[in-house]
Every structure is written in structure tokens, then in C-alpha cells.
């Protein structure tokens, strides 16, 4: 009597399973880091998830899982992925599909990269979906933390609701924010601020920051890009750059991972 053995999984399926195991471990490590277990933190966890699973599955299995979306239209070097962060119900991360350490990477602010802020803004509908109501443009913001204020060594832009007090303060003072970088105090914090007009954050906020001589080197900066509708009626964005030695700054603090604005 012959005993039939089950067929081995296809090579692509087996490889995907192996990558899933590695990415699942990375997700667990991110979870540990989020609750403050620094010893268990893997600074390459985000890269393992995006490159090891999301890009592979998009390429071979035509699914973005576990990412919410993966855009590889221009290839991996120009692509990006959107991943739900484990912190908060509405927070998502925009992550390049190429290896970039963070805001201090030499390519940031150059012509060699796409406008990741524009791609992050395109993902705002995911924030609104999880908030379970439409969100005005000035209720959504994006931020990247400084090199010394992050746990992950893969560039990622936080996308989430704006803190209600930040939204109200910016709405009341939008006329003070011009088209050129200038010192700006907001709720006790000291920033460099400027505005961008238009529906999308274009030109690239990274490039605008790099062109501001007071912001060099970028390794010391943290940058937030917050949706706005200015007093003159134009849609646009407020850019808020914060600087500190060794990049120990995080404008992510201007966002609200509990999305209190959704309850208004």
C-alpha cells in the first residue's frame, strides 16, 4: 500500500511563508518597542515588514498584506508602502520601499527621491475611514521624527489626526505664516514655519527644508506637514520644523493618536 505524501508548497508560496514568519516577528518587536520594552526593539523591523513581506507579496501574490497598500509603479527605488501602526486606531505610516535610514539620509531633499509627503497625503482616506467620519484637511497631519527620537532605522512618515489644540492654534494664526521660513512659536514650542499652497504638498517639503540654510544638517531636524485652509481661502499646508542637537526632536507630538477631533 502506497502512502501518499502531501505535495510541497510552490516555491513562491514557501518563500512567502518564510518571509511572513520573519515579518510577524518584526511586527511583534515593533509592538514591544511601542510599549517601551527597548531591549526587545529591532531597529530594522519596519524594513523587514515592508521589504520582506509587503513588496514580495505585491510582486508575486498581487496583495499588499500586511500593508494597507503598496505602490511599485516606478519600481522599488521609487515606491512606497502604507502600513497601519499598532499605536492608535487611526495612525498609518508611509514607508519607502527602498532602503533609507531616516531624515538624515543623504538622499533626503534631493532630486533622487519621489515626494513621499505627497504619497503620505494620498493615504489620508485611511485615517478618515478608521475615524469613521470625514475629516477636514486641517484635521489631518503628517510628521517625521528626528534621527535621535525614533526606534526604527527605516524612513517613515506618521499620518494621523492633528491634536485639537494644534488645529485651533494654527487656524487662528494662519495669517502669520508666510511662503518663506520664519521663526514661529506654537503652544510653547519653537519652530521654523512656512506655508505651501495647493491641494497636495508640492514642492517636496523635504527639499524646502533642505534649502533652508538654518535647517542644515537635516539629521538635527524633525518635520511636520499639516493640512490647512488659510484665511485667504486657499487650501494648503503648514510646515513646522523643529531642531535640536543629535535630532532629539519629534514633531509627531503635534499629532493625536486618539483622534479626538473625530469626536467633535
Domain 41-262, classified CATH 3.30.428.30, yes or no: yes
pLDDT tens digit sequence for 21-67: 544 444 444 433 332 333 347 999 999 999 999 999 999 999 999 99
Burial of 229 (0-12, 13-18, 19+ CB in 10 A): middle
Q: Average pLDDT, stretch 105-122?
A: 96
List the beta bridge partners of residue 193.
182, 240
Would you state the pLDDT for residue 216?
A: 64
DSSP, res 8: P
Residue 237, pLDDT score: 98
Question: Residue 41: its pLDDT value, please?
Answer: 77
pLDDT at residue 154 greater than cutoff 70: yes
Q: Give DSSP secondary structure letters for 27-41.
A: HHHHHHHHTT-GGG-
* Domain range annotation of the chain: 41-262
Average pLDDT of the residues of the chain: 87
Three-class SS of residue 237?
strand
Amino acid at each position: 500500500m502506497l502512502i501518499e505524501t502531501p505535495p510541497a508548497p510552490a516555491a513562491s508560496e514557501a518563500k512567502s511563508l518564510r518571509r511572513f514568519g520573519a515579518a510577524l516577528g518584526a511586527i511583534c518587536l515593533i509592538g514591544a518597542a511601542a510599549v517601551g520594552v527597548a531591549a526587545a526593539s529591532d531597529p530594522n523591523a519596519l524594513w523587514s515588514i515592508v521589504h520582506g513581506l509587503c513588496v514580495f507579496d505585491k510582486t508575486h501574490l498581487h496583495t499588499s498584506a500586511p500593508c494597507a497598500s503598496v505602490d511599485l509603479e516606478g519600481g522599488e527605488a521609487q515606491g512606497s508602502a502604507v502600513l497601519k501602526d499598532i499605536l492608535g486606531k487611526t495612525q498609518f505610516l508611509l514607508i519607502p520601499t527602498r532602503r533609507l535610514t531616516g531624515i538624515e539620509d543623504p538622499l533626503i531633499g534631493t532630486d533622487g527621491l519621489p515626494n513621499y509627503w505627497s504619497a503620505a497625503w494620498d493615504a489620508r482616506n485611511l485615517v478618515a475611514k478608521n475615524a469613521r467620519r470625514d475629516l477636514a484637511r486641517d484635521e489631518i497631519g503628517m510628521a517625521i521624527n528626528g534621527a535621535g527620537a525614533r526606534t526604527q532605522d527605516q524612513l517613515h512618515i506618521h499620518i494621523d489626526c492633528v491634536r485639537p489644540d494644534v488645529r485651533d492654534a494654527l487656524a487662528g494664526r494662519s495669517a502669520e505664516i508666510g511662503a518663506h521660513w520664519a521663526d514661529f512659536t506654537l503652544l510653547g514650542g519653537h519652530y521654523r514655519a512656512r506655508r505651501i499652497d495647493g491641494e497636495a504638498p508640492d514642492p517636496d517639503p523635504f527639499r524646502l527644508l533642505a534649502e533652508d540654510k538654518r535647517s542644515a544638517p537635516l539629521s538635527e531636524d524633525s518635520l511636520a506637514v499639516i493640512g490647512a485652509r488659510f484665511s485667504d481661502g486657499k487650501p494648503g499646508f503648514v510646515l513646522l520644523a523643529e531642531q535640536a542637537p543629535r535630532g532629539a526632536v519629534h514633531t509627531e507630538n503635534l499629532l493625536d493618536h486618539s483622534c479626538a477631533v473625530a469626536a467633535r
